[in-house]
């Protein structure tokens, strides 16, 4: 029998318990041994739930149980979660998490501890919710050199943008709808300001190139300043506005990573990904473009990914998965990355531009720095990068 514990009994934690209840028999069959949920650690009183009998409030119970194999960390944040994850790994437990903030900011240290202790620290659920993407990236595509990763990494903002594009609803109203439907938190800053997508693109970048990219080192722009007029102009020209996280390796060997709303041409598969769905496209030098699509959040989809990792950790109990990244990546300066740009409201139209309606244009290829300087010089009211 294999024993695991859940730390933090919120949306994800309770989803993991529910997946075990739904699928415990087939999970045990695949593992070749029953999987037993031994403890749930939470500060709240769970005695009125079916899990009252296994609820604990003291982390040291988990830490000191030699029969506990795996700990699921679904506390969130990077304080208590960091402390408990460190201690669980030090105590020789495998740890599985969906906590993108913790992985993005402290993943390197935690993977180092895991290596020393010969245990697994796995986090498939931290990017793309239930969509398999990290394991395909580091395992199935291991024979490739990864060239670029681009994705719709946040379901909340994709829902809001879909409403803006398809129904002409302004940002503030679309956000309110998303909150009413339970897709957005009451404090939606981490989603709408792009921080959540930023953490996820950092994790993808860490795994793809083996060098740490911390979220506070990359440029992150959300959708709260987005004008419905620009969404309209783009639509009429055959583009959808999508919040994309993007990470790439440049010709000079440096890396770039950022989050921003982009114009995406409707012929690109990413453009058709609507509502709360996520999609991640990975370009490898042998495989070309592959794309992974599905629900990027929600209790059961996220729990599906956590459970896959719990099973993987148990199947690699004696021999841990080789996983980790080294110190800071060399990031490109603002003049290295070149794209086309959507610009509106400038005092003049620069040469070689494609004219759209309402005085908006799409420029030729310009670096991030060049585009910014040009928009400032011309007094442009809107500047957005164009993807493909």
Decide: is 131 part of the binding site for a second copy (CB under 8 A).
yes
Q: Which is nearer to a second copy, 261 or 301 (CB)?
A: 301
Cα(24)–Cα(374) distance, integer angstroms: 59
Decide: is 357 part of the binding site for a second copy (CB under 8 A).
no
Q: What is the number of residues in the chain?
A: 388
Q: Which is nearer to a second copy, 58 or 289 (CB)?
A: 289
Catalytic residue among 38, 93, 100, 200: 200
Q: Which helix (H) or strand (E) holds 35?
A: strand 35-41
Q: Which is nearer to a second copy, 23 or 219 (CB)?
A: 23
Decide: is 244 part of the binding site for a second copy (CB under 8 A).
no
Among 67, 180, 319, 352, contact with a second copy (rule: CB under 8 A)? 319
Q: CB under 8 A: which stretch of 97-105, 152-160, 293-301, 335-343 binds a second copy?
A: 293-301
Cα(299)–Cα(173) distance, integer angstroms: 25
Q: What is the DSSP string of 243-278?
A: EEEEEEE-TTS-EEEEEEEEEEETTSGGGG--TTEE
- Work out whether strand 35-41 and strand 55-56 pair parallel, antiparallel, or are unpaired: parallel
Among 145, 326, 330, 357, contact with a second copy (rule: CB under 8 A)? 145
Q: Which helix (H) or strand (E) holds 95?
A: strand 94-97
Tell me the per-residue interface mask from 5 to 34 with a second copy, x by CB under 8 A, - otherwise. ----------x---x--xx--xx--x-x--
Indicate the burial class of 225 (C-beta count within 10 angstroms; 0-12, 13-18, 19 or more).
Answer: exposed
Are residues 350 and 378 in contact, defined by beta-carbon separation less than 8 angstroms? yes
Closest among 132, 127, 175 to 154, alpha carbons compared? 127
Tell me the per-residue interface mask from 202 to 241 with a second copy, x by CB under 8 A, - otherwise. ----------------------------------------
Decide: is 37 part of the binding site for a second copy (CB under 8 A).
no
Among 1, 142, 167, 338, contact with a second copy (rule: CB under 8 A)? 142
Decide: is 311 part of the binding site for a second copy (CB under 8 A).
yes
**Three-state DSSP class for 16?**
helix
Among 6, 192, 310, 380, contact with a second copy (rule: CB under 8 A)? 310
Owner of token pair 């897709």? 183
> Cβ 31 to a second copy, closest distance in Å?
9
Among 66, 143, 182, 253, contact with a second copy (rule: CB under 8 A)? 143
Give 66's strand partners: none
Total residues interacting with a second copy, rule: CB under 8 A: 52
Q: How far is CA 305 from the centre of its chain?
A: 13
Closest among 244, 250, 239, 249 to 221, alpha carbons compared? 244
Q: CB under 8 A: which stretch of 64-72, 88-96, 225-233, 282-290 binds a second copy?
A: 282-290
Decide: is 308 part of the binding site for a second copy (CB under 8 A).
yes
Decide: is 315 part of the binding site for a second copy (CB under 8 A).
yes
> Cβ 22 to a second copy, closest distance in Å?
6
Q: Which helix (H) or strand (E) holds 189?
A: helix 189-192
Q: Which is nearer to a second copy, 284 or 385 (CB)?
A: 284
**Three-state DSSP class for 321?**
coil
> Cβ 318 to a second copy, closest distance in Å?
7
200 is catalytic: yes
Q: CB under 8 A: which stretch of 130-138, 237-245, 250-258, 373-381 binds a second copy?
A: 130-138
Decide: is 346 part of the binding site for a second copy (CB under 8 A).
no
Q: What is the CA radius of gyration of the chain?
A: 22
Cα(230)–Cα(228) distance, integer angstroms: 5
Cα(103)–Cα(346) distance, integer angstroms: 41
Q: Which residues are catalytic?
A: 200
Please report, as ranges, the residues that interact with a second copy according to CB under 8 A. 15, 19, 22-23, 26-27, 30, 32, 124, 130-132, 135-136, 139-145, 269, 272-273, 284-295, 298, 300-301, 303-308, 310-312, 315, 318-319, 322
């Amino acid at each position: 029998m294999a024993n695991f514990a859940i730390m933090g009994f919120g949306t994800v934690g309770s989803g993991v318990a529910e997946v075990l209840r739904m699928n415990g028999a087939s999970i045990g069959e695949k593992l070749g041994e029953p999987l037993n949920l031994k403890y749930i650690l939470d500060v709240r009183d769970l005695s009125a739930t079916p899990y009252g009998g296994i609820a604990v409030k003291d982390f040291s119970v988990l830490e000191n149980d030699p029969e506990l194999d795996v700990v699921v960390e679904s506390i969130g944040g990077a304080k208590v979660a960091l402390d408990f994850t460190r201690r669980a790994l030090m105590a020789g437990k495998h740890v599985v998490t969906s906590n993108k903030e913790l992985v993005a900011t402290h993943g390197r240290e935690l993977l180092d501890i895991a290596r020393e202790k010969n245990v697994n620290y796995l986090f498939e659920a931290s990017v793309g919710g239930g969509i398999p993407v990290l394991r395909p990236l580091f395992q199935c595509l291991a024979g490739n050199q990864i060239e670029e990763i681009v994705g719709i990494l946040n379901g909340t903002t994709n829902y809001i943008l879909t409403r803006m594009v398809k129904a002409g609803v302004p940002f503030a109203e679309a956000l309110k709808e998303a909150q009413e439907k339970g897709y957005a938190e009451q404090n939606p800053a981490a989603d709408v300001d792009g921080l959540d997508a930023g953490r996820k693109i950092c994790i993808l970048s860490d795994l793809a190139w083996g060098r740490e990219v911390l979220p506070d080192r990359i440029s992150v722009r959300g959708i709260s300043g987005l004008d419905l007029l620009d969404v309209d102009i783009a639509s009429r020209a055959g583009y959808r506005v999508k919040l994309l996280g993007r990470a790439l390796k440049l010709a000079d060997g440096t890396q770039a990573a950022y989050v921003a709303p982009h114009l995406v041409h409707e012929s690109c598969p990413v453009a058709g990904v609507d509502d709360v769905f996520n999609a991640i496209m990975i370009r490898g030098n042998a495989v070309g473009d592959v794309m992974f699509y599905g629900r990027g959040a929600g209790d059961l989809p996220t729990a599906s990914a956590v459970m896959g990792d719990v099973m993987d950790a148990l199947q690699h109990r004696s021999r841990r998965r080789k996983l980790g990244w080294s110190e800071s990546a060399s990031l490109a300066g603002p003049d290295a990355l070149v794209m086309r740009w959507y610009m509106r409201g400038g005092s003049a139209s620069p040469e070689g531009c494609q004219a759209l309606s309402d005085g908006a244009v799409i420029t030729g290829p310009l670096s991030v720095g060049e585009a910014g300087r040009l928009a400032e010089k011309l007094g442009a009211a809107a500047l957005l990068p164009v993807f493909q």
